[in-house]
Amino acid sequence: MPAMTLVLIGTWYLYLGAAVAAVFLLYGLGRLDENAQGAWIFRPLLIPGVLLIWPVVIWRWIALKKGEEKLDRHRMPRKRQEYVQLAFIVIIPVIILTAFAVRQDPTTLSTPVLLEAAK
């Protein structure tokens, strides 16, 4: 029963995301961003993203319509963003090297057993 509830919630989440994607990509995107007016080829590429983050899309859309925020493309990155980028430059190789260091040695594995179907 709980698994079916999760599937039902996920299904309705995607249905709502599809509705938001249809309305936003057909009507809202061109009105909010003048560079997107008449650019219909790339809009289908946005559908998967809008399906997943549709609450954020609605929130940003409302904020932009009210004039609370601006689409500011040429804003310099925040200082914290630079620190996060540097942290990722260090953390990702550390994770990869750790994974290689702790991986299991294939020579110590037991021999595989062939399973047969029940008769």
Q: Where are the domains of the chain?
A: 2-71
Give buried/exposed letters for 66-79 (b at 16+ CB in 10 A, else e): eeeeeeeeeeeeee
Confirm whether pTM is higher than 0.75.
no
AA letter at 46: L
Section 58-69 average pLDDT: 81
Q: Residue 13's pLDDT is what?
A: 95
7-30 pLDDT, tens per residue? 999 999 999 999 999 999 998 888
Contacts of residue 24, Cβ cutoff 8 Å, sequence gap at least 6: 50, 57, 61
